[in-house]
Amino acid sequence: MSRIDACRSCAGAELLPVLSLGSLPLSDGFLAPDELDRSEPTYPLDVAFCPACTLVQILDTVPPEILFGRDYPYFSSVSATLLEHSRAHVAQRLPELPPGPDTLVVELASNDGYLLRYYREAGVPVLGIDPAPGPVAAARAKGIETIEAFFGRALAETLAADGRRADLVHANNVLAHVADVHGFLDGIRILLKPRGRAVVEVPYVRDLVEKLAFDTIYHEHLCYFSVQAVERLARPHGLFLVRVERVPIHGGSLRLFLAKEDRPDATVAAILAEERAIGLDRHAFYAGFAERVVRLRSQLRALLTGLRAGGARIAAYGAAAKGTILLNYCGLGRELIDWVADKNPFKQGRFVPGVRLPIVSPLRILEDRPDYLLILPWNIEAEIVAQEAAFRARGGRFVIPVPEPRILA
C-alpha cells in the first residue's frame, strides 16, 4: 500500500479532508471457509478534496494486482439492472458507428462481456480488455475476444501498431479504479481513430454526497468524479469533453463522451454551470458529509438492534462491494444479521470480509424465512424486491439502509 502526498490528477500539494471511514478490509476480499483462522489486512479509507482541480480521491492505493487478481469475484452479468442498462446504451450507440467490417468497438474493463455481447449480436466487431482471469474466461466462453491485461499506454501502442484502433471505446466504472490515470487516458487517445469517441461512465460525486452513498467509497475506487474534474483531467491528454449525460446506474452516474476534437455540445456548458452554482468545485460543498455518515451509522444500528431485540430475525441480500463497507463501518455482524444471500455462485460458501457473515444462495430466503432482509446493493432495490416477491408475499419486509434507514412499506 502507498499513500499519496499530491493530487492524482493535477499533482496539487493541498488535499483537504472530506471523510475518514477508518481502516477497513478489502471490499471484494471474500474468505473461503479454510481462511477463517487467519487475520485479514485492513487499509485506511481517507477521502480528500483537491481545491486546484476539484478531484475527490482516497489517499491510499492498494496494488491493483491484489484488488483485481485471480479471485476477483465481480461478474457484471449477475445484475439484470446492469444488463438492461448496457443493452439500452448499446442500442443508442449503434446508429452512431460507421458501417463496414473495419468498425471496432473496444471496452476497457470488459468483465464477462456483459456489454460487448450486444454489439456482437448486432454484428459489430468487438474487443474486450480486462485484468481479472475469472471474468475474462467467462467472456471468452461467450465468444467475445478478450485480452487479459491492465490497459494503459503500452497496450494501446501495441494495438495501434497492429492496426487495431477503435471507432468507439467504452470505459464503464473503471476510470475511478486506475492508479495510473494519466497512462490510461493516453492509452485511450492512442487507441481511438481520429474521429473515434470514448464513452466513459463514472459514479457522480454529486450523487454520492447528496444521496449519502458513503458505501461506494472503497479501495478499488481511487477517485470520485465531477464533470469539472474529468474535463480538467482529460484535456492535457488531448481528449475533450464533447457531451455529458446523467444516468441512474450505480446510484447516479455520469456518461461522458470524449473526442480528439474540442467541439462540446450544450450539455457540457450546462452541467459545468450547474456544478459551479451548487459549489461542487469548492470544499465547502463537502462540509457536513462526514457528520451525516456518522448519523446514518447510528440510525441503522439502532433500527436493526431494535428489530432484533423484538425477536425479529434479520438477514441481508447482496454481497456487493458496497455491502462489505456498510457492514464493517456500521459494525453489523452475527449479533444482528444471520447471513447474506447472493446470486453469484462464486461468492456462495464464502464469508463477507471483516464481519465474516456467511454468503448463501437466495434459495435460503424462503427456506429460513427471516423477518427482514437488509438490501445491501440499495441501488438495485427495485430489482431485488421484484426478485424476492415470494418473500414479501409471506410477510417478509425489506430494510433499505441508504440514504436514510427505512423499512420498505
Amino acid at site 253: S
pLDDT digits (tens, 9 = 90+) for 370-389: 999 999 999 999 999 999 99
Sign of the torsion formed by the C-alpha atoms of 53, 213, 404 and 85: positive
- pLDDT average, residue stretch 332-360: 96
Homologous superfamily of 311-407: NAD(P)-binding Rossmann-like Domain (3.40.50.720)
β-pairing, 253-259 vs 240-247, is: antiparallel
pLDDT over 70, % of the chain: 99
* CATH code at 76-286: 3.40.50.150
Q: Cell digits for 259?
A: 473526442
Instruction: Tell the residue number behind the cell numbers 481545491, with chain if given.
Output: 51
pLDDT digits (tens, 9 = 90+) for 55-106: 999 999 998 888 876 677 778 888 889 999 999 999 999 999 998 889 999 9
The b/e string for 110-141 (b: 16+ C-beta within 10 A; e otherwise) is bbbbbbbbbbbeeebbbbbbbbbebbbebbee
- List CB contacts of 36: < 8 A, sequence separation 6 or more: 351, 356
Confidence of residue 242 (pLDDT cuts 50, 70, 90): very high
Q: State the pTM of this model.
A: 0.93
295 phi/psi in degrees, rounded to 5: -65, -40
pLDDT digits (tens, 9 = 90+) for 170-213: 999 999 999 999 999 999 999 999 999 999 999 999 999 999 99
- pLDDT average, residue stretch 336-354: 96
- pLDDT average, residue stretch 246-268: 96
Question: CB–CB of 276/298 below 8 Å?
Answer: no
Q: Where in the chain is the domain with CATH 3.40.50.150?
A: 76-286
pLDDT digits (tens, 9 = 90+) for 99-154: 888 999 999 999 999 999 999 999 999 999 999 999 999 999 999 999 999 999 99
- pLDDT average, residue stretch 211-231: 97
Confidence of residue 336 (pLDDT cuts 50, 70, 90): very high
- pLDDT average, residue stretch 386-409: 96
Q: Where in the chain is the domain with CATH 3.40.50.720?
A: 311-407
C-alpha atoms less than 13 angstroms from C-alpha of 146 in its C-beta half-sphere: 31
